[in-house]
Amino acid sequence: MDKSGFILNSDEMDALKELGNIGVAHAATSLSAMLGKMVEMKVPNVIFAKISEIHNYFEEELVSGVVTALEDVENGRSGYLYISFPNAEKLAKLLIDDVTLLESTIMEIGNILSSSFCNAIADMLGVMLLPSPPSFAQDVSVAIFEAIVAQIAERSEYVIIFETELLEKDDAIQILITLVPDEKFFGYIMKMFGMLG
């Protein structure tokens, strides 16, 4: 059992990891082509967390990240992706060797990750999703997260955190990709779980 008290069986956990790994694999391919060097990404862990306990999963420190709204073509706004980079300066230095371009680097990586994740989610859940242009966010993660939740009309009780690693040669950098679904979108995820049995 994780901190949220929600128990995932092995099939459900595998389905979420598969979703995460499909998304980051596409992103890694795009990043590698853009940078002209091999970049790998993987999702070693997924957390299904209660919104009320989200503070358990984020450090109380300033982080850079991007926020992207997800639009269900049939039902309108359906949730958000919050992608945070706890080591943003190290990431910028690793990928482009220039921390002065931190914000533009984070925006570009966030845009690639958002698009790749959006496509992976849409394919796996059988829905049509469109990501909005990402917005740069720099604050304590919990504060950003609370602002996101406040904008969701039909709130679900849960979020999904994909603990992601970006690998370049011998360096590994953590990225947290948090899916914040509304109630209807969360229902799609539950329906996917129901099809696993």
Going from N- to C-terminal start, the domains of the chain cover 10-194
Per-residue exposure over 145-169, b if at least 16 CB sit within 10 Å of its own CB, e if not:
beebbeebeebbebbbbbbbbbebe
Q: What is the Rg, in whole angstroms, of the alpha carbon atoms belonging to the chain?
A: 16
Helix, strand and coil content of the chain, in percent to the nearest 5, comes to 45, 35, 20
Read off the pTM.
0.87
What fold is seen in the domain 10-194? Answer: Chemotaxis protein chec (3.40.1550)
Distance, in Å, from the CA atom of 121 to the CA atom of 128, rounded to the nearest integer, reads 9
CA nearest 134: which of 186, 80, 94?
A: 80
* Tokens encoding 77: 């706004």
Walk along the chain (197 residues) and give the pLDDT tens digit of each residue.
Answer: 333 445 667 888 888 888 889 989 989 998 888 888 888 999 999 998 888 888 888 888 889 999 999 988 776 678 899 999 988 888 888 888 877 888 888 998 899 999 988 888 888 888 888 889 889 999 999 899 889 988 887 788 889 999 999 988 778 889 999 999 888 888 888 777 776 55
Distance, in Å, from the CA atom of 46 to the CA atom of 190, rounded to the nearest integer, reads 16
Q: In 10 A of CB 58, how many CB atoms?
A: 20
Residue the block writes with tokens 């995820």: 189
User: What are the CA-CA distances from residue 187 to residues 104, 129, 138, 154 (Å)?
Assistant: 35, 15, 31, 11
Cα–Cα–Cα angle for 140, 143, 5, nearest 5°? Answer: 100
